Amino acid sequence: MTDATTRAASGTAARNAESAASFTALYGTEPEGIWAAPGRVNLIGEYTDFNDGFVMPLALPHTARAAVARRTDGVLRLHSTDMPGGVVQLRVDELAPHAGHGWAAYPAGVVWALREAGHRVTGADIQLTSTVPTGAGLSSSAALEVVTALALNALFGLGLTASELAVLGQRAENAFVGVPCGVMDQMASACCTEGHLLYLDTRDLGSRQVPFDLAAQGLTLLVVDTRVKHALGDGAYAERRAGCEEGARILGIPALRDLPYDGLDAALEKLAAAGADESVLRFVRHVVSDNQRVEQVIALLDAGDAPAVGPVLTAGHVSLRDDLRVSCPELDLAVSAANGAGALGARMTGGGFGGSAIVLVDVAAAAAVTESVLEAFASAGYAAPGVFTAVPSAGARRLAPAAW
């Protein structure tokens, strides 16, 4: 087990005791509860969620945790053990989008989104701590939003479902923080279950828990965190989103999800004839083909043929690299080194331009593949990536009071 896996899996009771004690020291009162929400990796279906398409994430054992106590005086106090700068104190009735607040905008945005939706949240003391690597494409931000939403939902008796909390988390990130993300990350953190993938239709949030027992087939899924994030990614997401929307508009469909794979060639001809930019054609081809790859993976898993998922992952990477153009040299190297060393398939996961890749590999070959990836990074002069196993873990939950 690598460092990250060990950290994520270790001593939950001890960690909870630690966070309860530090909450009490910080705020001078006991927390009313502790909640956890995981990060995620997406197996397949990338950049499809803002096209009403399909995705297939799994929750990681890495979680954001929140110790929370209600307040009735309109004060919101936020603290993260992972961030410098101490407690951020705000007033719930003064929360306004795009007001800055740094990291605190994520939990504050959730309070804002809940109140905007008419829910009575009268203030809170919140302490956050997380084992989800930040900015690694593993959704540390969604974990923070979902854990905050879940805790406030419970304490204020709001009665919202996991999907509703996910949508509020997305709204916090879109409208309050100002990041135009789709709903996959929050849905994965809120709704995944242990041992399963979440097959999610992002149009209506219909979902199915798909058993994902790789060990039974002698396989494992590795995450390679390249530990890089290229600045290029910042405007690229919005550009791709706009390109996809333009493609759908020219084709006269509500979203690219409505274009079936067997209509792709005709659609590309229509886009070219209409004078669409060549980038729009590439974006459309990626989204439609990745939706198709989700269907392929589902069919393979339902048929019990997990090894055959490998080449579909690699095809997804090629599409992200060449059509959507959201990969980067480090991600390409992780994929080529893993595949060159005998992995069944690999691809970048998440938004790209850095972050993480996933690798499907026989358990017996996992150590050699990991070694090859590390060697390839060293030879290229890149910092050593973090490699850990993606164990499909539980979604957001309250931790038992007895545990702390």
Residues forming the site for ligand ADP (CB under 6 A) = 80, 82-83, 103, 106, 128, 130, 134-141, 144
Minimum CB separation from ligand ADP for residue 62, in Å? 10
Q: Which is nearer to ligand ADP, 198 or 309 (CB)?
A: 198
Tokens of 275: 């004078």
254 vs 243: CA distance, rounded Å: 14
* Chain residues 125-154 in contact with Mg ion, contact rule CB under 5 A: 141
Closest distance of CB 107 from ligand ADP, Å: 8
Q: Which does 135 bind (CB under 5 to 8 A by kind): Mg ion, ligand ADP, none?
A: ligand ADP
Minimum distance, C-beta of residue 138 to Mg ion, in the bound complex (Å):
8
Could you give the residue numbers annotated as active site? 185
Among ligand ADP, Mg ion, none, what does residue 144 contact (CB within 5–8 Å per kind)? ligand ADP
Q: Give the Cα separation of 62 and 130 in Å (integer).
A: 8
CA distance 214 to 195: 9
- The Cα–Cα gap between 266 and 256 comes to 14
Minimum CB distance to ligand ADP smaller for 130 or for 220: 130
Residue 83 interacts with which of Mg ion, ligand ADP, none, CB < 5 to 8 Å by class: ligand ADP
* Alpha helical stretches, state H, 71-219: 105-116, 140-155, 162-171, 184-191
Interface with Mg ion in residues 285-344 (CB under 5 A): none
Amino acid at 312: V
- By beta-carbon proximity to ligand ADP, the closer residue of 10 and 379 is 10
DSSP string, 284-310: HHHHHHHHHHHHHHHHHHHTT-GGGHH
Residue whose CB is less far from ligand ADP, 70 or 101: 101
Of 76, 107, 106, 109, residue with least CA distance to 92:
76
Q: Calculate ∠ Cα 143-212-315, nearest 5°.
A: 85
Dist CA 305 CA 301 (whole Å): 6
Which partner in ligand ADP, Mg ion, none is near 130 (CB below 5 to 8 A by kind)?
Answer: ligand ADP
Binding interface with Mg ion (CB under 5 A): 141
